[in-house]
Amino acid sequence: MVRVSAGARLHFGFCNLSLSHERLYGALGITLAEPRVSVEAAPSGAITVEVADDAVDGAAGGSMDALVADVRTYAERATSLLEVEGAALTVESALPRHTGLGSGTQVALTTLAAISHAHARDPEVRRRAPALGRGGRSGVGVAAFEGGGFILDAGHPTTRFTTERPADGSWSVPAVAVRHPIPDGWRFLIVRPDAKPGRNGAIEDAAMRDAVERASPELADRISGIVTRRVLPAVAEGRAETFGAAVAEIGRLNGAWYADEQGGVYRPPVGDVVAALESSPAVFGAGQSSWGPTVYGVTDVDHADAAREAGAAALSAAGVDGEVTVVGGANEGARVQDPDRKTRVPSNNTKR
C-alpha cells in the first residue's frame, strides 16, 4: 500500500485573456499546506474505490458518489496510461469539490501518482496530466503538485490555445515561468461561504470562451505591470502587505473579464465577504480563488488570529454561514509514503 497526499492551491487569476496578445492565460497561484487530498493504492487485478467516512465535505458541494466517480474515472485513465491491470484505492481525505481550491487537478494527480507508485512506476505527472484533462488553461495545480511554492506559469501561445478547449491530451501543461518559496511568516486566510460550487466542466468551458472572446487587452497590460513591479518583488523580498494588495488587484482586474459570466467582479456572495475583509488591517489583500466561492486573504503569523476573526465577521456581514481557517503555504509537492510509511518527499517546508 502506497499513500500519496497533496495540498490545495489558491488561484489568483490569469495574466491575459485577450487574443490580441501572443500569450494566453499565464496563471498565478500558491500551494497550501492544507486542506489536503490523500489516496492510498495497492496493486490489484481490478479498480476498486473506497472512501473514508470523513473524507467528503457535503456542505461544500461534495458527495460520496461524486468523489467515487471522479476517482474511478481518473483511475481508469491512469491504469490505461500506465498499462497496468488495476488498483485498490482508498480516499482518506479529499478537498471540497469545485470551490476554488483545485480539487479536480489534485485528486486526478494524486490518484495517478498513487497507482504509479503502487506499481513501481514513475507517474510523470506533467506529461500525463493532459490525458487526465488537467493543466489545460492553468498550470498552477500541476506545478503545485510537483513542487509547491508560489507559481507563475508561462501560459500558451495564443495561436495554439484559443477560445475552444482542445481535446484531452492534446495540449502541454504550461511551463513554470517563476517558482519561489513562500516566506515562512506568511499565512493565508481561507473563508469558505456556504454557497453553490464554482463553475466547472462544460459550463466553465463556455464561460471561459465567452470571456476570452470579449477580453480587453488593456487589462492584460495593467496586470503585467502589477506582476513584474509588485507581485514578483514582494514574494522575493518577503513583503506580505505588498503581495496581498497586488494579487487582490489582479483578482479585481480578472473579475472585470468575468463580470458578465458571474454577475459582477466577484460571484455572489464573495463580493460582500471581500468587501468586509478589506476593512481589516490584519488582511493585506483579499479576493476570490478561481471561480469561488472560496475567498482568500493574505496575512502573516503576527496577524493570523485577527485575520481569522475578520473572516468570521465577514461571513456574518455577508449574511452567510461558512468555514474560516488560517493556513500556511507549502514549499513542497505531493508527499509519497512507502509501505513502511517512510516519507519520500520531505514535508518540513510546510507551515501552519
User: 263 Cβ partners below 8 Å, 6+ apart?
Assistant: none
pLDDT score recorded for residue 58: 43
pLDDT score recorded for residue 184: 96
pTM of the model: 0.92
pLDDT score recorded for residue 344: 56
pLDDT score recorded for residue 197: 73
pLDDT score recorded for residue 331: 98
pLDDT score recorded for residue 57: 55
CATH fold label, 2-179: Ribosomal Protein S5; domain 2 (3.30.230)
pLDDT score recorded for residue 164: 60
pLDDT score recorded for residue 352: 42
Query: What's the rounded Cα separation, in Å, for the pair 284 and 240?
Result: 7
Closest C-alpha to 294, from 327, 329, 322: 322
- Confirm whether 2-179 and 184-327 share one CATH topology: no
Strand 23-44 versus strand 150-153 pairing type: antiparallel
Give residue limits of the domains in the chain: 2-179, 184-327
**What phi and psi values does residue 349 have, to the nearest 5 degrees?**
-105, 10
Q: Which CATH number fits domain 184-327: 3.90.550.10, 3.40.980.10, 3.30.70.890, 2.40.30.10?
A: 3.30.70.890
pLDDT score recorded for residue 285: 98
Q: How far is CA 331 from CA 148, 284, 328, in A?
A: 5, 21, 10
Which segments in the chain show pLDDT lower than 50?
58-61, 346-352
